Amino acid sequence: MFTKLDYLNFTANLIDHQQISFEISSPSSIVSANLLELNINVDNFNDCLYLLDGRFENLHTLQAKTVLKVLKSFSDNYLLPVNVAKTKAMLVYNAVGVSKPKIEYKGVPIEYVTNFKCLGVHIGTKLGWGKFIDDRLKKVRQSYCGLRKIFHTIPKNEIKLRRKLFLAFALPQFIWLFFCFFYFTDKQKEKVEHAFGTGIRLVYSLWGYDDLTTLVLSREFSLRDYLFKYWLRFQKHLHCKFF
């Protein structure tokens, strides 16, 4: 139906505040390879996500007015102006490349980004953890550089002091990864554990050994031991709080 349709205007100025909702209709049956511009009222933000999931392959302009009106109303009612210059949009997708419709707020276009940072966590279009892991391991290596300079002034037999410095400056960087460690791929886990092993080698001066041998010779806890302790303490905290 409507195989040559490339522009659709379905807004309140044509029909008295009629809205399209994919919650009611069947989303999988609504597709178009020709539609270029879509101007509609939608019921909620989930409907916007349906429009942006790739069903309209060549869509380059989208005006979903209801959602933007809700944002404007919220901003006006609570006296919280929207900083459009700092407002960004990110489209999550699995395809190699998708077209990105234009999004505007009060006539000002909203810029698309490939990733953003929220509460110290990097979120990208593929919803992977690679950027977050690389950013955290970069901080780990920076802490190793500082420890290496300090260890030059501390004898190797002062293991307790060297170990305390490692636990104080390097281990907290790994703890940032504990809350999502179970979602990492096997290669990502190996990468993180190897970085931890490098720190143990730095403390005990066990250069030339692999990660497992380093843990055996140093008799240190592995990263997964600290991971277990982290979640065990977290569980006890929740138990004490709610029971």
Residue 142 one-letter amino acid: Q
Residue 118 lies in a domain: no
Instruction: Summarize pLDDT for 72-111 with one digit per residue, the tens.
Output: 777 888 778 888 788 888 877 766 666 777 777 777 888 8
Instruction: Summarize pLDDT for 125-171 with one digit per residue, the tens.
Output: 777 888 899 999 999 999 999 999 999 999 989 999 999 999 999 99
* pLDDT of 4 above 50: no
| Cα four-point dihedral sign 126, 26, 11, 69 | negative
pLDDT at res. 116: 80
- Domain limits at 208? 128-242
How far apart are the C-alpha atoms of 228 and 45, rounded to whole Å?
39
| Residues 99 and 149 both lie in one domain | no
Instruction: Report yes or no: 131 and 115 within 8 Å, Cβ to Cβ.
Output: yes
Domain final residue pick, 61, 80, 113: 113
* pLDDT of 1 above 70: no
